[in-house]
Amino acid sequence: MATYIVLSTLTDEGRKTIKQNPERILQVNKELEQMGVKVKQQFAVLGPYDFVNIVEAPDNETMMRMSVELGSRGSVHLLTLTAMPVEEFIKKLK
């Protein structure tokens, strides 16, 4: 499984949904699991992004499908980054 960092920003519609139903965040996490994406850690943050998610998925194609699905709902904008543990990064440089 590959690791990804997903930075998300809620749209006005997304903020309205979360305000009315904060548990929606956890419901979306379950939907992600059905798509093959496992949420490992999730943080609500201040600044240009609203959430930072550390997720695992089998491949980039799975992440692409997840991104298109969530983005098409109009409630969130996503920026997805592939992540690698530093130890693995160092090993690959040798």
DSSP string, 24-83: HHHHHHHHHHHTT-EEEEEEE-SSS-SEEEEEEES-HHHHHHHHHHHHHTTSEEEEEEEE
Q: State pLDDT tens for residues 24-34.
A: 999 999 999 99
What percent of the chain stands above pLDDT 70?
Answer: 100
State mean pLDDT over 38-67.
97
Instruction: Kindly list the structural domains of the chain, giving each domain's residue range(s) and its CATH number in brackets, ordered by start.
Output: 2-93 (3.30.70.920)
- The overall average pLDDT reported for the chain is 96
pTM, entire model: 0.91
